[in-house]
């Protein structure tokens, strides 16, 4: 997005309308498309009618921004260092992450462990189901037509597009999420990480490694653990 | 064999994946926030599955051509009407007002 894109339609920022112009970054684009007008219309109606408040919308947006893959990374690092936790996580994802304070309502959380022999990659072919409480909001590519359609047919080609190469002997297993069941990949713990603290290990766990399009970072800073 | 649903993309051919990160726009953040507020307790106007059903019930052309959050806001509109929270008439009236306001501001 061009930093000057919002000037293209000559929007006058000095006008005095009542709608909320709070922006999160100075160059964020102003609404200009029909669906964005629909967003404004629905929001203003819901606020006028007292169904929701502007404050709640703002708080919800801030809550979203706080949710990040760091939650999932904490879970993975704990699984790497605490074998009892790892077992519980694999048996009952919801109960195990609740131990760390992550409440996952109305969804079954399934943790999948990657090993030398087996690599999991998660997709939602039908929409965009994703373990938001642990990973935040899904990246755009996860919701894209291309990822959704190709993941179940040519996962290795997709992995290559993400710069992830796995040995031929590693089985790649693609799992398809549903509205009621979400997956968290536990990436293979990188070599050379013995003795690292949970916090240090968590820093090696990228979002993509928990979706399965990548492996965890190597401790020497390389993009993948090999 | 039955025809594929518009959302049933698994296994279809597709081009390369654009792996670029995307900073959500203000409109996208607001649609997401509203969807979560309306779906969650205490309002619980609808369940995730109903949201899915509504998105999957969009016209195939609309589904194919719409951006992700565009589909969400269209589904939200449909569900708000279906659940009796807002009426079609008031949404249309408000939309006209918003469009007019935008046109005026753009002059």
Is a pLDDT exceeding 60 seen at residue B89? yes
**Residue (of A133, A142, A139) closest to A67 by Cα position:** A133
**Is A128 one of the catalytic residues?**
yes
Q: What's the pLDDT at A137?
A: 87
Beta-carbon separation of A9 and B70 below 8 A = no
Beta-carbon separation of B86 and A9 below 8 A = no
Q: What's the pLDDT at A85?
A: 98
Residue B48 pLDDT class (50, 70, 90 cuts):
confident
Mean of the per-residue pLDDT values of chain B: 92
Q: What's the pLDDT at A29?
A: 62
- Best residue in B64, B73, B76 for a mutation probing chain A (most A CBs within 10 Å): B73
Q: What's the pLDDT at A106?
A: 79
> Which of A38, A149, A161 comes nearest B9 by C-beta?
A149
User: Which chain A residues in 82-111 lie under 8 Å from chain B, judged by CB atoms?
Assistant: 106
Report the half-sphere exposure of A86 (CA within 13 A, side-chain side).
15
Q: Rounded to an integer, what distance in angstroms lies between the CA atom of residue A61 and that of residue B30?
A: 7
Write out the CATH class of domain B26-105. mainly alpha
Give alpha helix (H) positions in chain A: 34-48, 54-66, 70-81, 83-91, 93-99, 132-135, 145-150, 155-161, 198-202, 207-211
Tell me the two tokens of residue B19. 């792996």
User: Which chain A residues in 108-167 lie under 8 Å from chain B, judged by CB atoms?
Assistant: 123, 125-128, 137, 139-141, 143-153, 158, 161-162
Q: Rounded to an integer, what distance in angstroms lies between the CA atom of residue A67 and that of residue A138?
A: 11
Q: Report the SS3 class of residue A120.
A: strand
CA distance, residue A140 to nearest chain B CA (Å): 6
- Best residue in A25, A126, A133, A147 for a mutation probing chain B (most B CBs within 10 Å): A126
CA of residue A42 relative to chain centroid, distance = 27
> Residues B95-103: what's their mean pLDDT?
94
- What separation in angstroms does the CA of B81 have from each of A171, B67, B76, B86? 47, 22, 9, 5
**Residue (of A75, A138, A156, A223) closest to B21 by Cα position:** A138
Residue of chain B minimizing CA distance to A23: B26
Q: What's the pLDDT at A226?
A: 38
User: Which chain B residues in 49-78 lie under 8 Å from chain A, judged by CB atoms?
Assistant: 49, 52, 55-56, 66-70, 73-74, 76-77
Choose the weakest-confidence range: A8-22, A148-162, B26-40, B88-102: A8-22
B15 touches chain A (CB under 8 A): yes
> Residues B52-68: what's their mean pLDDT?
91
Higher pLDDT, B100 or A2: B100
Please give the domain boundaries of chain A with CATH numbers for all domains.
34-66 (no CATH), 70-211 (3.90.330.10)
Beta-carbon separation of A146 and B77 below 8 A = no
Residue of chain A minimizing CA distance to B92: A41
Q: What is the mean pLDDT of each run of 10 residues along chain A (226 residues)?
A: 39 41 50 92 98 97 88 98 98 97 90 98 93 92 95 97 96 94 97 96 98 95 50
According to DSSP, residue A64 is labeled H
Q: What's the pLDDT at B17?
A: 94
């Amino acid at each position: 997005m061009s930093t000057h894109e919002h000037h293209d339609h000559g929007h006058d920022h000095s006008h005095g309308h009542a709608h909320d112009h709070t922006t999160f970054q100075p160059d964020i684009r102003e609404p200009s498309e029909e669906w964005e007008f629909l967003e404004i219309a629905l929001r203003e109606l819901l606020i006028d009618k007292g169904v929701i408040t502007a404050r709640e919308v703002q708080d919800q947006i801030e809550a979203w921004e706080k949710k990040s893959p760091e939650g999932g990374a904490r879970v993975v690092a704990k699984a790497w260092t605490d074998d009892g936790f790892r077992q519980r996580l694999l048996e009952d994802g919801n109960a195990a992450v609740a131990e760390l304070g992550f409440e996952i309502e109305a969804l079954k959380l399934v943790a999948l462990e990657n090993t030398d022999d087996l690599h999991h990659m998660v997709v939602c072919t039908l929409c965009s189901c994703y373990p938001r409480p642990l990973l935040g909001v899904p990246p755009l590519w996860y919701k894209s037509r291309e990822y959704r359609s190709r993941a179940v047919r040519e996962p290795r080609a997709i992995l290559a597009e993400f710069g992830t190469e796995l040995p031929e002997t590693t089985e790649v297993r693609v799992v398809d999420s549903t509205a009621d069941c979400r997956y968290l990949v536990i990436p293979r713990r990188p070599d050379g990480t013995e003795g690292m603290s949970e916090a240090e290990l968590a820093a090696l766990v990228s979002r993509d490694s928990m979706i399965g399009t990548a492996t965890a970072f190597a401790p020497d800073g390389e993009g993948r653990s090999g | 064999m039955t025809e594929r649903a518009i959302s049933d993309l698994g296994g279809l051919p597709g081009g390369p994946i654009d792996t670029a990160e995307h900073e959500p726009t203000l409109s996208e953040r607001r649609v997401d926030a509203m969807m979560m507020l309306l779906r969650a307790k205490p309002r619980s106007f609808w369940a995730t599955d109903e949201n899915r059903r509504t998105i999957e019930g969009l016209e195939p052309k609309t589904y194919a051509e719409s951006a992700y959050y565009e589909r969400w806001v269209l589904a939200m509109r449909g569900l708000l009407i279906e659940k009796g929270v807002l009426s079609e008439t008031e949404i249309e009236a408000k939309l006209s007002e918003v469009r007019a306001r935008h046109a005026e501001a753009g002059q």
